[in-house]
């Protein structure tokens, strides 16, 4: 590792025309200058004198490691995916993406969010503007010095779409991420929206008529507002739960292992102003999950809905006008044009004073009488980077909570945090449309009340101004719920979240009485949520087989990667008795399937999803096929233990097992998980532990069966993993980026952490100078340039 680090540094220094150094970041006139200290596994520790230079350092090292990911993100927000990546087959969605993004460009959405007083609430501060400006300069400097043709990542080497970027490009990418659970998730429904009938002539290349909107339909069908493909676990442990009496945080986001949603580990420091270690999504300039010297935090995806529907009553004979307080209002029509390999393509998109018109065929249709628009408060959320900056500067849970209250910036996540005094915080202080119980009762038409009660989607009467979102007195901006309406809990023992609602952040103090749009209360919890709480309780009771009765970062790591399959713990024995008694079952397609081998594999399974676990994949596919059906009902008085008994008399149980056997045809049913569940790194197949949440697994690993092979590629799951304690001598603990620092197969940082994760290993927290200098692989260099 030391030899690799030295070789890589030498290449960077020669290519960049820079010099190695062991001193602090040097002043560089009015230019950029950042000190880069690459620790083990390529993790950069970046020190600079101001935020512009800090951003420069971040942009430079992220380009060194992941330039292709950033470049493709910029192609997306420039509305050029069709031009560069085509429009056929799997690329068919590129046209929709481009039309959505081109409308953002044409409407100058991001530019308008950058106007106003630079106080970090009404408009981004100078500090974060400098950070993005510096990021773009650092990225461009690396690209300019290396050259597109000389890039080592085959994903984009020599590609014409790898181009210099601007600060505005980065703001647009950031905006797109903020609206991913709202406008962006409904993008195909926005592009699909077309009024019934058409008398105007059709322009060449114009797409007309109603289009399908599968992503919007999936969001509408979802039980909550979480963006697809992401999730998380987190613990915040207070002084009553830790061996040392200081706060401790487990960060365990479940994000994609490839593409623009990869995390990137880094430590960022401006002496006396900012000092934070952790991770951010590739392309972002500030730590989003991590810790400073006194506070640590993580995020989990919230259940709250991020948008509100508005049912429009259309003007008779004019489907592009709607009535509002009895007066007609004309929709705004904008024809958007994007370039494709086959020539320009145009589509007319429609807006109201609420926001864009959206069509979800069969559910929210545009007829002669009715149309539907959404309001998305995150579309005006320009507070996020300043919010994360304030979190990184917090000195206590109270400071962090004050930052949340003032800025209300979190787009679609909860926060779980702890401080050095041993306080633990849970808060869903995310951006949520201001739909109170009173507004819902007065303004949701009867036909949509069940939808609101079941999934939190509010369809408001758009014909009355009294049914608009309004403003809470304590809200940072109009249209969102203020802090008094949002669930918050501070404890000295623990809080936790695993993507269920806020209700049982700590079961000893349920959070209740909040607007339905945020999440459900007194409803069944997922098996992952239940296991997450059980793991804490069993650790504190000393019944988990580990020494002691409180948490250390070592046993927190062990608990997190214990790989228990809670669903198996509940029902495996009953399932084995059922398949022993009925060794042949009928699959969903009518095929008769012998269950004998599956039954034997389940009988010998160790109830975990470790590398050595045999037969775990049988239970996983049984659970995914809908086999976990319970005989006992959910009891809100016993939410962590109900339901729990397998409905052995339900024939669908055996059908699900038969379906699992069919799906796994050609794969030994008693195979070791590590032999069939892997992640490719070049020609190497790295064994990966973990499993699906349907089986009740905390350490989530999502993948798809390849017939006769197994699970050859992780799609998403445990990504950045951190267990940090805020002790008297500073932060300490363990962390890892499961898929490694770089997506470039020719990078020395491509596989090291992945191999480490395979063995449940870790890299240490390196927050202090002493911790960093103790790293035997440390390599130091400086990046910088004079500003023009």
- Residues taking part in catalysis: 232
Q: 3-state DSSP call for residue 365?
A: coil
Query: Measuring CA to CA, which residue among 146, 36, 34, 138 is closest to residue 744?
Result: 146
For residue 242, give Cα distances in angstroms to 248, 540, 553: 7, 9, 9
CA–CA gap between residue 8 and residue 110 (Å, rounded): 37
Name, in order, each residue with C-beta under 8 angstroms of 652's C-beta and a sequence gap of 6 or more: 626, 627, 629
Q: Over 296-354, what HEC string results?
A: EEEEEECCCCCCEEEEEEEECCEEEEEEECCEEEECEEEEEEEEECCEEEEEEEEECCC
Q: Do the beta carbons of residue 597 and residue 657 sit within 8 Å?
A: no
> CA end-to-end span of the chain, whole Å?
38
CA–CA gap between residue 689 and residue 754 (Å, rounded): 11
Query: Measuring CA to CA, which residue among 475, 472, 489 is closest to residue 424?
Result: 489
Query: Measuring CA to CA, which residue among 251, 354, 258, 254 is closest to residue 310?
Result: 354
CA–CA gap between residue 93 and residue 529 (Å, rounded): 34
Q: What phi-psi label fits residue 408: left (phi over 0), alpha (psi between -120 and 50 degrees) or beta?
A: left
**Other residues' Cβ atoms within 10 Å of the Cβ of residue 641:** 11
Q: Do the beta carbons of residue 87 and residue 95 sit within 8 Å?
A: yes
Helix, strand, coil percentages in the chain from 3-state DSSP, rounded to 5: 35, 25, 40
CA–CA gap between residue 163 and residue 170 (Å, rounded): 13
Name, in order, each residue with C-beta under 8 angstroms of 168's C-beta and a sequence gap of 6 or more: 110, 111
Query: Measuring CA to CA, which residue among 724, 702, 729, 698 is closest to residue 713?
Result: 702
The DSSP call for residue 124 is: -
Structural Rg of the chain based on CA atoms: 26
- Tell me if the bond preceding 552 is cis, omega within 30° of 0: no
* Strand-pair category, 720-727 with 730-737: antiparallel
Query: Measuring CA to CA, which residue among 735, 736, 683, 692 is closest to residue 711?
Result: 692
């Amino acid at each position: 590792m030391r030899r690799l680090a030295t070789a890589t540094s030498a290449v960077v220094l020669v290519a960049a025309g820079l010099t190695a150094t062991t001193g602090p970041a040097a002043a560089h006139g009015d230019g950029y200058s950042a000190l880069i200290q690459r620790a083990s596994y390529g993790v950069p520790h970046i020190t600079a004198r101001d935020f512009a230079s800090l951003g420069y350092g971040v942009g430079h090292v992220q380009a060194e490691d992941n330039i292709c990911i950033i470049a493709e993100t910029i192609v997306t927000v420039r509305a050029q995916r069709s031009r560069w990546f085509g429009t056929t087959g799997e690329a068919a969605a590129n046209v929709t993406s481009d039309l959505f993004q081109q409308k953002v460009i044409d409407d100058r959405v991001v530019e308008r969010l950058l106007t106003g007083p630079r106080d970090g609430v009404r408009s981004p501060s100078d500090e974060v503007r400098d950070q993005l400006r510096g990021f773009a300069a650092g990225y461009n400097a690396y690209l300019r010095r290396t050259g597109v043709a000389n890039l080592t990542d085959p994903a984009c080497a020599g590609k014409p779409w790898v181009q210099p970027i601007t600060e505005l490009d980065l703001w647009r990418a950031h905006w797109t991420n903020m609206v991913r659970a709202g406008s962006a998730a409904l993008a195909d429904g926005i592009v699909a929206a077309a009024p019934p009938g058409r008398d105007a002539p059709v322009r060449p290349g114009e797409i007309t008529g109603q289009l399908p909107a599968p992503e919007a339909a999936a969001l509408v069908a979802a039980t909550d507002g979480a963006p697809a493909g992401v999730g998380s676990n987190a613990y915040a442990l207070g002084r009553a739960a830790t061996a040392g009496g200081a706060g401790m945080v487990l960060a365990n986001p479940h994000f994609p292992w490839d593409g623009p949603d990869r995390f990137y580990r880094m430590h960022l420091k401006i002496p006396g102003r900012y000092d934070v270690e952790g991770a951010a999504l590739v392309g972002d300039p500030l730590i989003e999950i991590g810790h400073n010297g006194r506070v640590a935090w993580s995020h989990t995806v919230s259940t709250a809905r991020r948008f509100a529907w508005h049912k429009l009553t259309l003007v008779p004979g004019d489907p592009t006008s709607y009535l509002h307080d009895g007066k007609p209002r004309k929709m705004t029509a904008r024809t958007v044009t994007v370039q494709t390999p086959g020539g320009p393509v145009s589509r007319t998109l429609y807006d109201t004073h609420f926001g864009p018109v959206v069509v979800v065929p069969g559910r929210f249709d545009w007829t002669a009488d009715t149309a539907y628009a959404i309001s998305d408060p995150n579309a005006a959320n320009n507070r996020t980077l300043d919010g994360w900056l304030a979190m990184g500067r917090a000195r206590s849970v109270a400071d962090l909570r004050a930052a949340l209250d003032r800025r209300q910036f979190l787009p679609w996540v909860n926060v779980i945090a702890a401080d050095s005094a041993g306080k633990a915080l849970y808060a869903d202080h995310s951006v949520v449309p201001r739909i109170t119980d009173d507004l819902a009762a007065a303004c949701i038409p009867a036909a949509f009340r069940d939808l609101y009660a079941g999934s939190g989607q509010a369809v408001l009467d758009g014909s009355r101004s009294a049914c608009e979102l309004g403003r809470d007195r304590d809200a940072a901006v109009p249209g969102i719920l203020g802090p008094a309406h949002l669930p918050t809990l501070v404890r000295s023992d623990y809080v936790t979240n695993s993507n269920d609602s806020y209700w049982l952040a700590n079961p000893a103090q349920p959070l209740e009485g909040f607007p339905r749009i945020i999440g459900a209360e007194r409803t069944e919890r997922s098996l992952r949520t239940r296991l997450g709480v059980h793991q804490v309780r069993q650790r504190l009771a000393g019944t988990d087989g580990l020494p002691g009765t409180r948490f250390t970062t070592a046993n927190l790591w062990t608990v997190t990667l214990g790989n228990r399959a809670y669903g198996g713990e509940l029902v495996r024995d009953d399932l084995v008795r059922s398949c022993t008694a009925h060794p042949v079952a009928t699959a969903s397609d009518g095929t008769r399937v012998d269950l004998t081998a599956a039954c034997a594999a389940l009988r010998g399974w160790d109830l975990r999803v470790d590398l050595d676990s045999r037969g775990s994949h049988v239970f996983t596919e049984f659970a995914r096929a809908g086999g976990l059906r319970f005989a006992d009902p959910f009891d809100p008085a016993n939410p962590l233990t109900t339901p729990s008994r397998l409905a052995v008399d339900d024939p669908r149980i055996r059908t699900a097992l038969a379906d699992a056997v069919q799906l796994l045809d050609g794969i030994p049913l008693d195979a070791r998980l590590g032999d069939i569940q892997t992640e490719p790194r070049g020609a190497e197949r790295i064994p990966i532990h973990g499993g699906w949440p349907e089986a009740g697994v905390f350490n989530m690993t999502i993948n798809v069966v390849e017939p006769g092979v197994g699970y050859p590629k992780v799609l998403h799951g445990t990504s950045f993993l951190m267990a940090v304690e805020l002790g008297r001598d500073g932060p300490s603990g363990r962390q890892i980026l499961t898929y490694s620092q770089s997506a470039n197969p020719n990078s020395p940082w491509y596989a090291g952490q992945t191999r480490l994760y395979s063995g449940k290993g870790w890299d240490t927290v390196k927050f202090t100078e002493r911790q960093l200098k103790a790293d035997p692989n440390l390599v130091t260099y400086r990046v910088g340039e004079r500003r023009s």
